[in-house]
Structure 1
Amino acid sequence: MAKDLTGGGPRHVAIIMDGNGRWAQKRGRPRLFGHHAGARRVREIVEACPDLGVEYLTIFAFSTENWKRTQTEVAGLMGLFRRYIQREARDLFREGVRVRFIGDRIKLDDKLVALMDELELMTAGNTRVNLTIALNYGGRDEVTRAAQRLAFEIEQGRLGYKDVDAETLARFLDTRFLPDPDLVIRTSGEARISNFLLWQSAYAEYEFIDTLWPDFTAEEFAGVVAQYAARDRRFGAVKA
Structure 2
Amino acid sequence: MITVGELAERSSVTTRTLRYYDSIGLLKPRAITRGKHRLYYEEDLLMLAQIQLLKRMGFSLKRISGMMHDDKMNTVTQLENQLSILEKEEEKICKMRETIRGIVHAFSLDGRIDWSMVVSLIKQAENKGTEHERLLLFFPKLCEDSEETKRIIVLVNDTRNALASGPDSEMGVRISERLFDLMSELCQGDKQLIEELWDIVCSHKLSEALGCFPIPREIIEFWEAAKKEIDS
* TM-score with structure 2 setting the length: 0.22
Q: Which of the pair has more CA radius of gyration?
A: 2
Using CA pairs below 8 Å that are at least 6 residues apart, which structure has the higher relative contact order?
1
* TM-score with structure 1 setting the length: 0.22
